[in-house]
Structure 1
Amino acid sequence: MSARHTGLGALAILSWGTLGALGAFSASLPPYLVLTFCFAVAAAMGLVICAATGRKPVRLLDRRTVLFAGLLAAYHLVYLEAFHHAAPIPVSLINYLWPACLIILGNLYFQLRSGFPGYLGAALGFVGVLVLIGKDGFVLQLSEAFGYGLAFVGALLWATFSNLRRHDSSDAISAMTTICFASSLICGLWWMANGANLPALTAQDVWVIAALGLGPAGGAFFLWDLGMRQGHAALLGVLGYSAPVLSTILMLVLGLGQPGWKVFAAIALITLGGIVVQIGTSATSSGKLKASAR
Structure 2
Amino acid sequence: MDRLTFSARQATLIGLLAVIFFSSVAGLIRSVAEGLGPVGGAAMLYSLASVLLFFTVGIPKLGSFPRIYLYFGSLLFVSYEICLSLSLGFALNHSQSIEVGMVNYLWPSMTILMAVIFKQQKANLLLIPGMVLSFVGLCWVLSGNRGLSLVSIAANVQSNPLSYGLAFAGAIIWSLYCILTSKKANGSNGITLFFMLTAATLWIKYATGSAATLHFTPHAAISLVLAAVALGCGYAAWNIGILHGNVTVLATASYFIPIFSSALAAFILSTPLGISFWQGAAMVSLGSLICWRSTRTKVRTVTSVNQQHLD
Structure 2 length as normaliser, TM-score?
0.78
Q: Distance in 1 between matches of 2:167 and 2:61?
A: 31
Match of 1:162 in 2: 178
Q: Distance in 1 between matches of 2:123 and 2:243?
A: 19
Letter in 1 for 2:38: P
Picking from 50, 69, 73, the partner of 1:68 is 73
Picking from 91, 100, 103, the partner of 1:85 is 91
Q: Distance in 1 between matches of 2:124 and 2:243?
A: 23
Deviations 1:106-163 (A, max 9, x none): 2112612233233322221111010111254232222134322222112112222222
Q: Distance in 2 between matches of 1:112 and 1:227?
A: 24
Q: Distance in 2 between matches of 1:116 and 1:147?
A: 33
Matches within 5 A, 1:5-44: 5-28=11-34, 29-44=36-51
Q: Residue 258 of structure 1: SS of its match in structure 2?
A: coil
Match of 1:46 in 2: 53
| Superposition RMSD in Å | 2.9
Q: Structure 1's 3 and 112: CA in aligned 2 closer, same or farther, altered over 3 A? A: farther
The answer to whether the 8 Å contact 2:109/2:134 transfers is yes
Picking from 267, 270, 273, the partner of 2:281 is 267
Match of 1:127 in 2: 136
Deviations 1:225-270 (A, max 9, x none): 4433543333222111221111222233345433322112112211
Q: Structure 1's 148 and 183: CA in aligned 2 closer, same or farther, altered over 3 A? A: closer
Q: Structure 1's 129 and 22: CA in aligned 2 closer, same or farther, altered over 3 A? A: same
Match of 2:306 in 1: none
Deviates more, 1:13-22 or 1:203-212: 203-212
The answer to whether the 8 Å contact 2:131/2:287 transfers is yes
Q: Structure 1's 103 and 23: CA in aligned 2 closer, same or farther, altered over 3 A? A: same
Match of 1:116 in 2: 125
Letter in 2 for 1:158: W
Match of 2:266 in 1: 252
Say whether 1:235 aligns with 2:249: yes
The answer to whether the 8 Å contact 2:39/2:86 transfers is no
Matches within 5 A, 1:179-194: 179-194=194-209
The answer to whether the 8 Å contact 2:32/2:42 transfers is no
The answer to whether the 8 Å contact 1:88/1:257 transfers is no
Deviations 1:194-223 (A, max 9, x none): 25753212122222222222213x432343
Say whether 1:147 aligns with 2:163: yes
Q: Distance in 2 between matches of 1:8 and 1:75?
A: 26
Q: Distance in 1 between matches of 2:203 and 2:19?
A: 27
Letter in 1 for 2:16: A
Q: Structure 1's 277 and 235: CA in aligned 2 closer, same or farther, altered over 3 A? A: farther
Match of 1:107 in 2: 116
The answer to whether the 8 Å contact 2:8/2:246 transfers is yes
Q: Structure 1's 36 and 70: CA in aligned 2 closer, same or farther, altered over 3 A? A: farther
The answer to whether the 8 Å contact 1:70/1:186 transfers is no
Letter in 1 for 2:176: T
The answer to whether the 8 Å contact 1:15/1:215 transfers is yes
Q: Residue 26 of structure 1: SS of its match in structure 2?
A: helix
Q: Distance in 2 between matches of 1:66 and 1:244?
A: 30
Q: Distance in 2 between matches of 1:245 and 1:176?
A: 25
Deviations 1:65-92 (A, max 9, x none): 3433332222222222223235122112
Picking from 262, 272, 279, the partner of 2:293 is 279
Letter in 2 for 1:193: T
Q: Structure 1's 262 and 3: CA in aligned 2 closer, same or farther, altered over 3 A? A: same
Q: Structure 1's 222 and 31: CA in aligned 2 closer, same or farther, altered over 3 A? A: farther
The answer to whether the 8 Å contact 2:116/2:123 transfers is yes
Q: Which runs of 5+ in 1 are unaligned?
A: 289-294
Structure 1 length as normaliser, TM-score?
0.82
Q: Distance in 2 between matches of 1:257 and 1:50?
A: 34
Q: Which runs of 5+ in 2 are unaligned?
A: 1-6, 301-311
Q: Structure 1's 31 and 60: CA in aligned 2 closer, same or farther, altered over 3 A? A: farther
Q: Distance in 2 between matches of 1:257 and 1:152?
A: 23
